[in-house]
Amino acid sequence: MKLVLKVSSNNEHCDGGCELALVDLTPQLGAMALRRIAVLREQKNLDADVEETYYWAYVVEYFSPWVSLVSTEEEVEPAVKVANVLDELGIEENEVLTVPESFWVPSCQIAAVECGQMLVRQDSIAFTAIPRHASFHVRTVEIPLAMLEAAATGASTARV
Protein backbone atom coordinates (compact mmCIF):
# COMPACT_ATOMS: atom_id res chain seq x y z
CA MET A 1 0.00 0.00 0.00
CA LYS A 2 1.23 3.47 -0.80
CA LEU A 3 0.87 6.18 1.82
CA VAL A 4 1.24 9.94 1.76
CA LEU A 5 2.17 11.36 5.17
CA LYS A 6 2.15 14.95 6.34
CA VAL A 7 5.56 16.29 7.34
CA SER A 8 6.54 18.91 9.88
CA SER A 9 9.79 20.82 10.19
CA ASN A 10 11.59 21.92 13.32
CA ASN A 11 12.35 25.14 11.43
CA GLU A 12 9.21 27.28 11.54
CA HIS A 13 10.30 29.23 8.44
CA CYS A 14 11.34 26.43 6.08
CA ASP A 15 10.59 22.81 5.28
CA GLY A 16 13.19 22.28 2.54
CA GLY A 17 10.50 21.21 0.05
CA CYS A 18 9.45 18.42 2.43
CA GLU A 19 5.76 19.14 2.93
CA LEU A 20 4.65 15.55 2.40
CA ALA A 21 6.25 12.11 2.21
CA LEU A 22 5.48 9.11 0.02
CA VAL A 23 6.06 5.66 1.52
CA ASP A 24 5.51 2.38 -0.28
CA LEU A 25 4.41 0.34 2.73
CA THR A 26 5.13 -3.09 1.31
CA PRO A 27 4.54 -6.31 3.26
CA GLN A 28 8.32 -6.48 3.78
CA LEU A 29 8.53 -2.96 5.20
CA GLY A 30 5.47 -3.57 7.39
CA ALA A 31 6.99 -6.79 8.76
CA MET A 32 10.33 -5.04 9.39
CA ALA A 33 8.57 -2.25 11.28
CA LEU A 34 6.67 -4.79 13.40
CA ARG A 35 9.93 -6.61 14.25
CA ARG A 36 11.53 -3.33 15.26
CA ILE A 37 8.54 -2.44 17.43
CA ALA A 38 8.83 -5.85 19.11
CA VAL A 39 12.53 -5.20 19.80
CA LEU A 40 11.71 -1.79 21.30
CA ARG A 41 9.08 -3.36 23.54
CA GLU A 42 11.63 -5.94 24.75
CA GLN A 43 14.12 -3.15 25.46
CA LYS A 44 11.44 -1.25 27.37
CA ASN A 45 10.94 -4.29 29.61
CA LEU A 46 14.63 -4.03 30.53
CA ASP A 47 14.78 -0.24 30.73
CA ALA A 48 11.58 1.74 31.26
CA ASP A 49 13.27 4.94 30.05
CA VAL A 50 13.57 3.72 26.45
CA GLU A 51 11.00 5.67 24.44
CA GLU A 52 12.03 5.32 20.80
CA THR A 53 14.77 3.97 18.59
CA TYR A 54 16.14 5.15 15.25
CA TYR A 55 17.27 3.08 12.27
CA TRP A 56 18.78 4.29 9.02
CA ALA A 57 16.03 4.24 6.40
CA TYR A 58 15.92 5.52 2.86
CA VAL A 59 12.44 4.30 1.89
CA VAL A 60 10.70 7.69 1.92
CA GLU A 61 10.38 10.31 -0.81
CA TYR A 62 9.85 13.77 0.67
CA PHE A 63 8.12 16.16 -1.69
CA SER A 64 6.08 19.28 -2.22
CA PRO A 65 2.99 18.89 -4.42
CA TRP A 66 2.84 22.49 -5.54
CA VAL A 67 3.31 23.41 -9.19
CA SER A 68 5.35 26.49 -8.30
CA LEU A 69 8.37 24.23 -7.77
CA VAL A 70 8.50 22.90 -11.34
CA SER A 71 11.11 24.33 -13.66
CA THR A 72 9.98 23.27 -17.16
CA GLU A 73 6.73 23.14 -19.14
CA GLU A 74 6.91 19.32 -19.35
CA GLU A 75 6.84 19.08 -15.56
CA VAL A 76 3.62 21.09 -15.10
CA GLU A 77 1.08 18.40 -16.06
CA PRO A 78 2.48 15.64 -13.79
CA ALA A 79 2.82 18.16 -10.95
CA VAL A 80 -0.80 19.26 -11.34
CA LYS A 81 -1.92 15.61 -11.31
CA VAL A 82 -0.15 15.01 -7.97
CA ALA A 83 -1.80 18.04 -6.39
CA ASN A 84 -5.23 17.11 -7.80
CA VAL A 85 -5.07 13.51 -6.54
CA LEU A 86 -4.07 14.69 -3.07
CA ASP A 87 -6.84 17.31 -3.02
CA GLU A 88 -9.43 14.72 -4.11
CA LEU A 89 -8.32 12.34 -1.35
CA GLY A 90 -8.50 15.09 1.27
CA ILE A 91 -4.87 15.74 2.21
CA GLU A 92 -5.91 18.87 4.11
CA GLU A 93 -8.14 16.87 6.47
CA ASN A 94 -5.97 13.76 6.89
CA GLU A 95 -2.44 13.26 8.14
CA VAL A 96 -2.09 9.81 6.54
CA LEU A 97 -3.60 8.98 3.15
CA THR A 98 -3.69 5.71 1.29
CA VAL A 99 -3.10 6.56 -2.37
CA PRO A 100 -3.55 4.41 -5.49
CA GLU A 101 -0.67 2.11 -6.40
CA SER A 102 -0.30 4.11 -9.62
CA PHE A 103 0.44 7.31 -7.64
CA TRP A 104 3.92 8.71 -8.26
CA VAL A 105 5.69 11.99 -7.70
CA PRO A 106 7.66 13.62 -10.55
CA SER A 107 11.35 13.96 -9.78
CA CYS A 108 11.08 17.76 -10.01
CA GLN A 109 8.95 17.73 -6.86
CA ILE A 110 11.08 15.35 -4.78
CA ALA A 111 13.26 17.03 -2.17
CA ALA A 112 16.85 15.96 -1.64
CA VAL A 113 17.40 14.74 1.92
CA GLU A 114 20.21 13.29 3.98
CA CYS A 115 20.34 11.10 7.07
CA GLY A 116 16.95 9.45 6.55
CA GLN A 117 15.82 7.45 9.56
CA MET A 118 12.91 5.33 10.73
CA LEU A 119 11.75 6.35 14.18
CA VAL A 120 10.23 3.40 16.07
CA ARG A 121 7.83 3.82 18.98
CA GLN A 122 5.79 1.24 20.91
CA ASP A 123 2.70 1.52 18.68
CA SER A 124 3.86 3.30 15.53
CA ILE A 125 6.69 4.35 13.27
CA ALA A 126 7.58 7.68 11.67
CA PHE A 127 10.40 8.92 9.47
CA THR A 128 12.81 11.79 9.87
CA ALA A 129 15.49 13.36 7.67
CA ILE A 130 17.57 16.47 7.11
CA PRO A 131 16.84 18.37 3.89
CA ARG A 132 20.03 18.62 1.85
CA HIS A 133 22.17 21.67 2.70
CA ALA A 134 19.98 22.44 5.73
CA SER A 135 20.59 22.43 9.46
CA PHE A 136 17.11 21.36 10.54
CA HIS A 137 15.07 18.16 10.60
CA VAL A 138 11.74 17.18 9.10
CA ARG A 139 9.53 14.42 10.51
CA THR A 140 6.51 12.58 9.17
CA VAL A 141 3.40 11.87 11.17
CA GLU A 142 3.26 8.39 12.65
CA ILE A 143 2.03 5.30 10.84
CA PRO A 144 -0.11 3.46 13.41
CA LEU A 145 0.38 -0.16 14.44
CA ALA A 146 -2.90 -1.30 12.84
CA MET A 147 -1.78 0.02 9.45
CA LEU A 148 1.62 -1.69 9.80
CA GLU A 149 -0.09 -4.98 10.68
CA ALA A 150 -2.39 -4.66 7.66
CA ALA A 151 0.57 -3.98 5.39
CA ALA A 152 2.56 -6.92 6.77
CA THR A 153 -0.32 -9.29 5.98
CA GLY A 154 -0.94 -7.74 2.57
CA ALA A 155 -4.36 -6.36 3.56
CA SER A 156 -5.39 -2.89 2.45
CA THR A 157 -6.83 -0.25 4.76
CA ALA A 158 -8.83 2.90 4.27
CA ARG A 159 -7.80 6.43 5.17
CA VAL A 160 -6.78 7.15 8.75
Query: Does 21 reside within a domain?
Result: yes
Residue 157 has pLDDT above 60, yes or no: no
Classify residue 111 by its DSSP letter: P
Q: In 3D, which of 80, 56, 53, 54 has the Cα closest to residue 66?
A: 80
pLDDT digits (tens, 9 = 90+) for 36-80: 999 999 999 999 999 999 999 999 999 998 755 556 666 667 767
Q: CA-to-CA distance for 41 and 37, rounded, in angstroms?
A: 6
CA angle 119/122/125 to nearest 5° reads 30
pTM of the model: 0.88
pLDDT confidence band for 159 (50 / 70 / 90): very low
**Average confidence (pLDDT) over 25-40:** 97
Q: Is residue 156 part of a domain?
A: no
Q: Containing domain of residue 11, as a range?
A: 2-149
- Count other Cβ atoms within 10 Å, centred on residue 54: 11
Integer Cα distance of 102 and 24 in angstroms = 11
In a domain, 97, yes or no: yes
